[in-house]
């Protein structure tokens, strides 16, 4: 039995889910992949086909320029290249003769067998076919050109989304993929896999990936996507269990007995009024609990599936009461004995939040239904005195051994940052670990005082002063990469930073400044080095290699 094998194996998520793509015919999937490759159906290929403006509009969800360009292309030599764009990205009906020309290996019957298209109207023999799924190219930074199947969105198939909608490549999934720290691991967990995007990335640095979801349809989509992209993902279709397995169940229940070095999750964190039953929720975003309890429970339970030294990265929402600091509630979620780093990226009012998620599922098309939904959101938030909702990233780590020196950092960073930010977050964790080790040494009199420091390559300094003033009133350090922090320096700290060229130790620089400023006392040096540690922690300074 392969590692992490489940009693609900791969085959259980195929033909039993008639509303998801079929992945039983590996030869047919190979033919489809070959046809898509020949069509140039990649992110760059579609952009070149449509032109920069139409492609950019399509990325924003505006389909009109792309549709007009594709209709123009139907009259020229690139007619076949327009077919998959019309079919799967724009939701247009396509003539069978165009499908035959575009997919000579797969054929119309093959596309129907894979459950990617269906006849238009009641006549199966009619001349037109339309998409049953969204199948789009994905430019992965770890596996190159891939394709991802998911449910059609409201711009392709008008009307509210189905309640068991399987989300495709969304902003949140891309955010998480760019945020994950990608160190090599033996076993990784994609919790709430959806269509499988996070698993794609995990397969690049994990020996084995377990993907879970509460939705059988989602697991069927994930299975199809992995098999369609098997060569690029370094997966053998005949021995899938060697690299990846699927498990059906709610959150951590399917893996309660397992341990992982890395857990990645874009959970169903959306705060939703509990006004009806399960039939009134969207499985891809609603966790089925009141308020932010889904994130609270997940954060508290995750340590149970982490190996010693293992970490978890997830996205989440948390409620904010008007009478307390924004970080109070999310801090309360974090279990004792765990390293944690929470970054709030955005905060919305209840009105903004309701607007965002009602529009997300196209529930704003019917005025009265929209008003009822909005009212339910506002009443739900008011019942808990919620005046804001935070969104952000959560990183948790189980220490290799029980320790009193766990570190919990909760901060707000709302400005634009560099993407992918995962490598920069990993570097920050490494610096924090380095500092923790030196903090332990400080008790014996060493600490960072004996270390040689450098200013990070991306850091610049700004000085501002009033006209005619002898000295600057404001001195700033700015990062050009990563989290792009800005920090305000005192005159003494600015002097310290300017001397960090690797020639003198931190203790020697601090001592020289103490003499220069006529403050040769141990307290001044100790306080200065505490500020230096913060500059190291945030990446303005780095140890000499």
The DSSP line for 427-467 is HHHHHHHHHHHHHHHHTTT-GGGG-EEEE-TTEEEEEE--T
- Contacts of residues 231-236 at CB distance under 8 Å and 24 or more positions apart, as own/partner, are 231/33, 232/140, 232/143, 232/144, 232/145, 232/146, 233/143, 233/146, 233/200, 233/203, 234/203, 235/203
pLDDT for 126: 84
Does the pLDDT at position 7 exceed 60?
Answer: no
Residue the block writes with tokens 């970490």: 311
The span from the CA of 229 to the CA of 166, in Å, is 18
The span from the CA of 447 to the CA of 508, in Å, is 13
The span from the CA of 162 to the CA of 173, in Å, is 20
**Model pLDDT for residues 357-376, shown as the tens digit of each residue:** 888 766 666 788 889 889 99
pLDDT for 276: 64
DSSP per position, 186-197: EEEEEET-TTSH
The span from the CA of 384 to the CA of 289, in Å, is 14
Does the pLDDT at position 230 exceed 90?
Answer: yes
Comparing CA positions, the residue from 38, 246, 41 lying closest to residue 149 is: 41
Split at pLDDT 50, 70, 90, the class of 443 is low
**Model pLDDT for residues 319-362, shown as the tens digit of each residue:** 999 888 999 999 999 999 999 999 999 999 999 999 988 887 66
Split at pLDDT 50, 70, 90, the class of 15 is very low
Strands (E), 286-418: 306-321, 339-348, 386-397, 408-412
Max mean pLDDT among 141-150, 187-196, 441-450 falls in 187-196
Ordered domains of the chain (ranges, CATH) = 22-132 (no CATH), 267-293+300-319+338-414 (no CATH), 433-543 (3.30.390)
**How is residue 393 written in tokens?**
């990233």
pLDDT for 9: 43
Split at pLDDT 50, 70, 90, the class of 3 is very low
pLDDT for 8: 39
pLDDT for 11: 37
pLDDT for 349: 96
Report strand pairing: 185-191 vs 128-131.
unpaired
How far is residue 131 CA from its own chain's centroid?
A: 27
Is the full-model pTM beyond 0.85? yes
Q: What is the mean pLDDT of residues 105-128?
A: 91
Q: How many CA atoms lie within 13 A of 53 on its CB side?
A: 4
Comparing CA positions, the residue from 128, 129, 110 lying closest to residue 228 is: 110
pLDDT for 282: 76
CA angle (98 as vertex; 57, 43 as ends), nearest 5: 35
**Model pLDDT for residues 240-286, shown as the tens digit of each residue:** 999 999 999 999 999 999 999 999 999 988 998 877 655 567 777 77
Cβ neighbours of 167 (radius 10 Å): 23
The span from the CA of 396 to the CA of 408, in Å, is 9
Percent pLDDT > 90 in the chain is 77
Does the pLDDT at position 494 exceed 90?
Answer: yes
**How is residue 368 written in tokens?**
């009265």
Q: What is the mean pLDDT of residues 480-497?
A: 97
């Amino acid at each position: 039995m392969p590692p992490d094998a489940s009693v609900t194996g791969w085959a259980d998520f195929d033909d039993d889910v008639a509303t998801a793509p079929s992945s039983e015919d590996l030869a047919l999937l190979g033919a489809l992949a070959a046809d898509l490759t020949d069509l140039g159906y990649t992110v760059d290929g579609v952009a070149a086909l449509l032109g920069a403006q139409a492609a950019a509009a399509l990325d924003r969800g505006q389909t009109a320029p792309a549709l007009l360009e594709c209709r123009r292309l139907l009259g020229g030599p690139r007619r076949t290249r327009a077919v998959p764009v019309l079919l799967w990205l724009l939701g247009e009906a396509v003539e069978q003769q165009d499908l035959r020309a575009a997919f000579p290996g797969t054929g119309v019957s093959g596309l129907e067998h894979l459950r990617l298209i269906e006849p238009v109207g009641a006549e199966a023999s009619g001349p037109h076919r339309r998409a049953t799924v969204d199948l789009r190219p994905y430019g992965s930074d770890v596996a190159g050109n891939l394709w991802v199947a998911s449910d059609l969105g409201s711009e392709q198939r008008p009307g509210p989304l189905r309640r068991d909608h399987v989300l495709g490549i969304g902003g949140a999934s891309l955010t998480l993929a760019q945020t994950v720290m990608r160190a090599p691991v033996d076993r990784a967990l994609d919790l709430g896999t959806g269509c499988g995007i996070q698993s794609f990335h995990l397969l690049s640095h994990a020996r084995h990936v377990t993907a879970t979801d509460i939705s059988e349809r989602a697991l069927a989509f994930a299975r199809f996507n992995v098999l369609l992209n098997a060569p690029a993902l370094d997966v053998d279709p005949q021995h899938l269990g060697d690299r990846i397995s699927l498990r059906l169940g709610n959150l951590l229940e399917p893996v309660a007995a397992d341990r992982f070095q890395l857990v990645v999750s874009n959970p169903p964190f959306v705060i939703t009024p509990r006004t009806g039953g399960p039939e009134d929720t969207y499985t891809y975003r609603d966790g089925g609990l009141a308020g932010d309890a889904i994130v609270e429970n997940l954060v508290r339970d995750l340590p149970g599936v982490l190996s010693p030294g293992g970490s978890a990265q997830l996205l989440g929402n948390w409620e904010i009461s008007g009478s307390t600091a924004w970080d109070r509630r999310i801090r309360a979620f974090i279990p004792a004995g765990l390293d944690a780093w929470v970054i709030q990226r955005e905060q919305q009012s209840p009105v903004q939040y309701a607007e965002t998620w009602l529009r997300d599922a196209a529930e704003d098309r019917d005025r009265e239904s929209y008003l009822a939904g909005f009212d339910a959101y506002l009443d739900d938030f008011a019942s808990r005195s919620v005046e804001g909702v935070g969104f952000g990233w959560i990183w948790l780590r189980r220490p290799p051994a029980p320790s009193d020196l766990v570190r919990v950092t909760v901060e707000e960073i709302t400005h634009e940052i560099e993407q992918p930010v995962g490598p920069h977050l990993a570097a920050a964790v490494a610096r924090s670990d380095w500092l923790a080790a030196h903090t332990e040494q400080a008790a014996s009199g060493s600490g960072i005082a004996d270390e040689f420091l450098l200013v990070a390559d991306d850091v610049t300094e700004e000085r501002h002063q009033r006209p005619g003033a002898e000295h600057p009133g404001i001195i700033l350090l700015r990062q050009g990469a990563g989290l792009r922090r800005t920090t305000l320096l005192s005159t003494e700290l600015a002097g310290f930073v300017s001397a960090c060229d690797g020639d003198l130790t931190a203790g020697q620089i601090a001592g020289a400044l103490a003499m220069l400023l006529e403050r040769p006392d141990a307290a001044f040096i100790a306080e200065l080095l505490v500020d230096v540690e913060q500059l190291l922690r945030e990446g303005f300074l780095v140890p000499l290699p």
